[in-house]
Structures are given as C-alpha cells and as structure tokens.
Amino acid sequence: MSFVGNKSRAKRISGFSLIELLIVIAIILIIAAIAIPNLLRARIAANEGSATNSIRNINTAEFAYNAAYPTSGYAAAITNLGGAAPCAPSAITACILDNALASAVPGSGGKSGYVFLATGLLPVGAMNVSFVSAGAPANFNVSGVRGFCATEDGVIRFTASSPGAPVATMAACQAFTAMQ
C-alpha cells in the first residue's frame, strides 16, 4: 500500500458531501415549516387565555373599587384601578389591580399580546353605576384573533376581532357572543 492511497481513503471516509448537507438542511426546513404555524397557534391560544383571565381580574377589581369608594361607583378608567409602586390607595389610584395590567392600555405594549380598557358608564352625579371591561389583540392575527369584554353582569363575551381598540360601550359589548 502506498501512502497516497491511504490519504485518499481517509479523505473519503471523513466529512460529509455537499449533497448530504443539503438533504439534512431540507429536512430541517420541512420540520420547521410544520412546527412554526402550530407554535404560533399555541401562542395565540395562550394569549387569549391570559386575556380572559385579565378581564376576570379587571371585573373583580371593579367590584372591589365600588365597595371601597361607594361615592365614586365603578372606576372611570382602568388606570384608576392600579397604581405604581409604592402605591397609596385613593379613588385615583386604588392599588387593587396589578399595575402591569392597569397600564396595558391602547398605545402601550400591552400585556400578553392584548391591550385593555375599563370604562365607567351611566354616571349618576359623580358616581358610575355600570362599567365595561374589554381587551383586544395588540397585534391582530399575531398575538390574538378574538376580542373580549364583560360588564357588571360578569359574563365574558368574545368576538372574532378586527384590528382596533377594545370596546368601550355596553351596547358594543353585549353584541359579542357569551362564552360558555
């Protein structure tokens, strides 16, 4: 055996050919094409689950606000339910709702892909006797595809959302489909 033959045999055994590498890359791309849409759908479902839980938290905070400040009724805005730390409770910053949620309003980064509003309604004097809490996807079809809302009846409603802000009226919320 010559030295040259051994060197060429060693060269053939080690390493991968270009075709083999391209085949592996193609297989990885096919797997990614299957997995990524499923991952995005799972993320949207998680964001929507978080949004419904946030609506429940806002409703609970509204009821607590109404009990704590009966002369004000329900909070005029979602920002009245929160407050930056260290928070001193008052009718303007009740410190009832987590400030990350209370500040997730349209124009902000939102919370878990959604932006939220809570609006006091039907004022009688200086007291709001009703409210609407609502959430909409911050980035439609990426962070979510449904909008959610609830009123003081506690029923969470949803709609196939279109890009835009959360609803702020009782009539708009009651036009949504009630969740089962």
- Per-domain residue ranges of the chain: 48-178
Q: Which of 114, 141, 139, 129 shows the shortest CA–CA distance to 53?
A: 114
Specify the 3-state DSSP secondary structure of 31: helix
The span from the CA of 161 to the CA of 5, in Å, is: 70
Over the stretch 48-102, which tens digit does the pLDDT of each residue have?
999 999 999 999 999 999 999 999 999 999 999 999 989 999 999 999 999 999 9
- Which is it for the CA torsion 124, 125, 129, 131, positive or negative? positive
Two tokens, residue 171: 């009539």
Distance CA 55, CA 151 (A): 10
CA–CA distance, 64 with 67 (Å, rounded to integer) = 5
Taking the model in full, what pTM does it have?
0.82
pLDDT in tens, 3-54: 555 555 555 567 889 999 999 999 999 999 998 989 999 999 999 999 999 9
